[in-house]
Chains A and B, each alone.
Chain A
Amino acid sequence: DIQLTQSPSSLSASVGDRVTITCRASQRISSYLNWYQQKPGKAPELLIYVASTLHSGVSSRFSGSGSGTDFTLTISSLQPEDFATYYCQQRYSTPSFGQGTKLEIK
């Protein structure tokens, strides 16, 4: 099974900050990496798929990059509604998720 490791596991930031979350795969997965946002008590929501394609309706302040084993999710200017937990997911093989990155207000 492919393991995904996110860093950091938690992050404190302020409104307006630029933040980057990384996801590292245990083996090469081409660009088959997705990002989700989850708020407490809610289902995850798709943000980005195939590493860098923005899902319909998602704000352009979210962007993704990477291929192979190393990927990043960047939020260009944090808004209050962005404080949540973010998960990466690979679809190269049997789906798996990272452990999550909790983004909190500083």
Chain B
Amino acid sequence: QVQLVQSGAEVKKPGASLKVSCKASGYTFNKYAIHWVRQAPGQRLEWMGWINAANGIPKYSQKFQGRVTITTDTSASTAYLELSSLRSEDTAVYFCARGFDVDSPKDAFDLWGQGTMVTVSS
């Protein structure tokens, strides 16, 4: 079954760091990209960055530059999102998504993980 399965919900204190995993199955992991998108309560989807699973090269939204790291473990068909210096505004559902046309403007996100709820609270 073609799917992305994410790690479970997290509760973090302000200033802490977060690491969310996204395990792919049912397709060749290194032929696609993995994007990370978050959605704060009642808000629009917000793109955070992506990684080319073929070469491991990431690209980040300027908004998160310096706080975000996206990596892959191709042997485990898994992508990871790390976000540091958490603040209350980072409370959101974090999604991973597969991009099917790597590094092309014709790309779209055709497969999504189930989402990981992250709550940042003291």
Instruction: List chain A positions with a Cβ less than 8 A from chain B.
Output: 30, 32, 34, 36, 38, 42-46, 49-50, 55, 87, 89, 91-92, 94-100
Contact = CB atoms under 8 A, between A and B. Distances in A.
Contacts of B44: 87, 97-100
23 contacts: A32-B105, A36-B109, A38-B45, A43-B97, A43-B112, A43-B113, A43-B114, A44-B45, A44-B97, A44-B109, A46-B108, A49-B106, A49-B110, A50-B106, A87-B45, A89-B45, A89-B108, A92-B105, A97-B44, A97-B45, A97-B47, A98-B44, A99-B44
5 tightest Cβ-Cβ pairs between the two chains A and B? A43-B112, A49-B108, A95-B47, A32-B105, A97-B45
B107 interface: yes
Nearest to B45: A97
Interface of B is mostly: loop
A91 B113 contact: no
Nearest to B47: A95
Contacts of A97: 44-47
Interface string B82-122: 00000000000001010000001111111011110000000
B108 A34 contact: yes
B23 interface: no
A91 B110 contact: no
B61 interface: yes
Given A89-B45, A100-B44, 9 more contacts: A36-B45, A42-B115, A44-B95, A50-B106, A50-B108, A95-B47, A96-B47, A97-B47, A98-B44
A94 B47 contact: yes
Nearest to A55: B110
Q: Which of A32, A44, A91, A95 has the most CB of B within 10 A?
A: A95
A32 B106 contact: yes
A26 B32 CA distance: 29
Nearest to B105: A32
